[in-house]
Amino acid sequence: MAQAIFEGSKNNGNSKLLNADKATLDNVKEADILFLGCPSMGVEV
């Protein structure tokens, strides 16, 4: 899902796709929009 959102938005400005554990406070401060998520394991249904 993150990849699809990134692909759809990367032509609209400064977009970055980062794993949450690699994101820094500066990445968050610089963001106009921030999407957060978690991996699904297929057991959430």
Domain count, the chain: 1
Return the ∠ at Cα 8 (arms to 14 and 4), rounded to 5°.
115
Give residue 25's domain range. 1-45
pLDDT for 33 equals: 80
CA dist 31 to 1, 6, 8, 34, 45, Å?
19, 14, 17, 6, 32
pLDDT for 45 equals 62
Q: What angle do CA 2, 20, 11 make, to 5 degrees?
A: 40
pLDDT in tens, the chain (45 residues): 778 888 888 777 778 888 888 889 998 898 888 887 777 766 766
